[in-house]
Amino acid sequence: MRLDGKVALITGAGSGIGRESAVLFAAEGASVVVADIEDLGGQETVAAIEKSGGRAVFVHADVAKAADAAKMIDAAEQTFGKLNVLFNNAGIMHGKDDDAVSTDEAIWDLTMNVNAKGVFLGCKYGIPAIRRAGGGSIINTASFVAVLGAATPQVAYTASKGAVLALTRELAVVHARESIRVNALCPGPLRTELLMKFLDTDAKKQRRLVHIPMGRFGTAAEIARAALFLASDDSSFVTGTEFLVDGGITAAYVTPE
């Protein structure tokens, strides 16, 4: 098993990519800390893991709050004795996020607090724990829109994910000699509840689909398998990357330098 003996903490693990990753990581041998602001979803993820014979614990956490970020890291060490893998996956995509003119300041602040500050706080409290474990892997969920920009305007989301990319690069360089790898996982458009709520009309969905060379939305399970690679020792020489899992969308639209 690729994560045998490892302890992984996954934020936003009550649904979507986070839940798929938590279940997969547990199946690959990890003990999993399931962190989410939604108690029911988080507890359901734990139940699914335990039903399959895995080990997991739920921690209620608002990743935008320092006290909650510290609490979830403490839970990993107190429950399972260490932390090897930190997957900063929690994020929001607000329905009223639009272009710069139309987006309210409150939507901007909320999105940046969860998507960017939440990653910062996870790393702030998680890195010392990973040091104590002798090294490990940090995975930060960014997005293809941080590389391309979004066809359907979502300025706060796009900016927040750009911040995640920049933060990931710096942390990767700073901590490389400590055996701490830091990578940004950049999903393309996915058929998840989060995106489908944002693309709430057939026209919006088609506007995204037309740009994807593979001609379909990805799935949370496909992103979870990419996260597993970054979490495991299979990616032992991989750090500071923008790991794009996007059905070819950036290949089609990014101009080579």
- Catalytic positions are 157
Amino acid identity of 175? H
Q: Which two tokens stand for residue 248?
A: 């070819």
Distance (Å, whole) CA 153 – CA 166? 21
Half-sphere exposure at residue 14, Cβ-oriented, CA atoms within 13 angstroms: 18
Q: Nearest 5°: phi and psi at 181?
A: -95, 140
Of 120, 251, 106, 101, nearest to 188 (Cα)?
Answer: 251
* Number of CB atoms found within 10 A of residue 183's CB: 26
Q: Nearest 5°: phi and psi at 83?
A: -140, 120
